Amino acid sequence: MTTNTFLNPVTTQTWSNGRHLVRCVKAIQETWDVRTFCFMADQPMVFFFKPGQFVTLELEIDGQPIMRSYTISSSPSVPYSFSITIKRVPGGKVSNWLHDNLKEGDVLPVHGPVGLFNAIDFPADKVLFLSGGVGITPVMSMARWFFDTNGNVDMVFVHSARAPKDIIYHRELRHMASRIENFKLHLICEKYEIGETWSGYRGYLNQRMLELIAPDFMEREIFCCGPTPYMHAIKRLLEANGFDMQRYHEEAFGPTPPEIRAEVTEHAAEAAEAAEVPAADLNLVNFSGTGKSIRVAPGETVHAAAAKLGLHIPKACGMGICGTCKVMKTAGEVSMEHNGGITDEDVAEGYILSCCSVPRGDVTIDY
Ligand SMILES: Cc1cc2nc3c(=O)[nH]c(=O)nc-3n(C[C@H](O)[C@H](O)[C@H](O)COP(=O)(O)OP(=O)(O)OC[C@H]3O[C@@H](n4cnc5c(N)ncnc54)[C@H](O)[C@@H]3O)c2cc1C
Ligand code: FES
């Protein structure tokens, strides 16, 4: 089938939040440790989403089901495919597996698109994009969207990388800056290596640099994504300036991998058990779908309780962003500290995110 007959706009479907099978159609090496994977559906489909949103990949590695979230780095202005851009994390299970194994033609299920961190829900005439490392992906999607759609948005794009060789989308960013007036690019490198030349900013983004780069930063809507210390530093800087933090939006890729969080939670629970938590303080978590139940120490999540019983509730981000671990609570109360991974409607219906919900007494979960 030729592309022309395949991409028939009349029979094309529109992507909506859910589980979809997609085929990897292209893999592009962006830098020495960053790779972009492009996907299309086997049925003609337009991938509309809000620039900045993410998908969650459903994978099987070494016979184990595993899920991870990745921002859509492409723009919905190029809607017949979408891309994710992945950095190898030293020792990381999924990122390295994808780099080493995912190839053209492979089919995999993805969940999404979802995410509150996006350029559509916070419209503004002037924006400041701040990113560090692979945190560039959501703001690149936003910038590509405004660029392609001739958005009347004044963009200042500030990206920090370790060294020139680590700058993701370097050529495309320069191309965009050379084509339109309303896209100002500023690249900052922490260091540069022997043989590398660099005439841009050096070091870390600080007050002085920000004032030079965007003297009007106080008037801008700010979208920030990067390593946790980077985002903390930016937040501190803005707060010190009295910036209206309602206009500051950030996305965390997760400081602690879910496995470690689970371990920490389990250790906390074991420690609590070792300290002989009075039986009256233990909460009963009853999984009605499987007829299993367990008493857990205060502070232990519903997800950790399920894991102790050998129940595998899918989990990706481990911090209430992605919605992968959503389950129905039919009785009892929990404290849920989520980061936007669940809608108010879902909460009203009784759903909770098991990774970040701690029972406040005995609870029943339909799982
Ligand atoms: C909303 C969202 C969007 C994201 N978008 C992107 C994106 O666009 N691009 C991108 O590259 N990433 C993105 N991420 C991050 C991504 O989901 C993964 O977290 C990342 O790829 C690392 O996964 P991994 O399986 O390779 O690493 P993991 O296996 O989860 O390990 C992460 C780190 O922890 C260490 N580690 C693992 N287990 C242990 C242990 N038991 N003890 C000690 N250390 C341990 C590893 O060595 C490694 O350094 C996003 C995350 C979220 C939540
Ligand atoms: S695993 Fe992402 S919200 Fe729980």
- At 11, the amino acid letter reads T
Burial class, 346, CB count within 10 angstroms (exposed 0-12 / middle 13-18 / buried 19+): middle
pLDDT score for 260? 39
List the chain domain ranges. 7-113, 126-251, 276-366
pLDDT at 170: 97
Q: Which atom of ligand 1 is nearest to the CA of 251?
A: 1
In the predicted model, is pLDDT for residue 254 greater than 80?
A: no
For ligand 2, say whether the CB of 314 is within 6 Å of any of its atoms.
no
Would you put residue 223 in left (φ > 0), alpha (ψ -120 to 50) or beta?
Answer: beta
Angle at 98 between CA 56 and CA 25, to 5 degrees: 80
pLDDT band at 244 (very low <50, low <70, confident <90, very high): very high
What lies within 8 Å, CB to CB, of 99 at 6+ separation is 35, 86, 88
**What is the b/e burial string over 153-165, where b = at least 16 CB atoms within 10 angstroms of the residue's CB?**
bbbbbbbbbeebe
pLDDT band of residue 255 (cuts 50, 70, 90) is low
Q: Sorting pLDDT into bands at 50, 70 and 90, what band is 268? A: very low
Q: What is the pLDDT of residue 182?
A: 97
* 74-83, 110-119, 356-365: least confidently modelled range: 110-119
The CATH fold of domain 126-251: Rossmann fold (3.40.50)
pLDDT at 14: 86
Adjacency order of strands within the sheet including 363-365: 292-296, 283-287, 363-365, 326-331, 351-353
For the segment 14-38, the average pLDDT, to the nearest whole number, is: 94
CA distances from 355 to 65, 254, 281, 283, 305 (A): 17, 13, 21, 16, 10
More confident residue, 113 or 194: 113
Ligand number nearest to the C-alpha of 352? 2
Which runs of consecutive H residues, i.e. helices, occur in the chain? 3-6, 93-101, 136-148, 170-179, 207-213, 228-240, 258-274, 302-308, 344-349
Q: 16 CA to middle of ligand 2, Å?
A: 19
Confidence of residue 257 (pLDDT cuts 50, 70, 90): very low
The pLDDT score that the predictor gives to residue 321 is: 82
294-310 pLDDT per residue, tens: 999 988 999 999 999 98
- Cα 73 to ligand 1 centroid, rounded to whole Å: 17
CATH number assigned to the domain with residue range 276-366, chosen from the 4 options 3.10.20.30, 3.30.365.10, 3.40.1410.10, 3.30.1370.30: 3.10.20.30
CATH topology of domain 7-113: Elongation Factor Tu (Ef-tu); domain 3 (2.40.30)
CA distances from 144 to 74, 78, 167, 207 (A): 7, 9, 17, 27
Going by alpha carbons, the residue nearest to atom 10 of ligand 1 is: 86
190 residue type, one letter: E
Quickly state the pLDDT bin for 326 (edges 50, 70, 90): very high
**Closest ligand 2 atom to Cα of 316:** 1
**pLDDT band at 108; cut points 50, 70, 90:** very high
**Residues listed for the chain:** 367
Average pLDDT for 50-79: 94
Token digits of residue 170: 């370097």
For 70-86, the pLDDT digits (tens) are: 999 999 999 999 999 99
158 CB under 6 A from ligand 1?
A: no
The predicted model scores a pTM of 0.85
| Cis upstream peptide for 51 (omega within 30°) | no
| Over residues 272-277, mean pLDDT | 55
319, 346, 352: residue to mutate for ligand 2 pocket, most atoms within 8 A of CB: 319
DSSP-assigned states of every residue in 196-234? ----SEES---HHHHHHH-TTGGGSEEEEES-HHHHHHH
Tell me what the mean pLDDT of segment 199-225 comes to: 96
Mean pLDDT is lowest, of 31-45, 239-253, 276-290, for 276-290
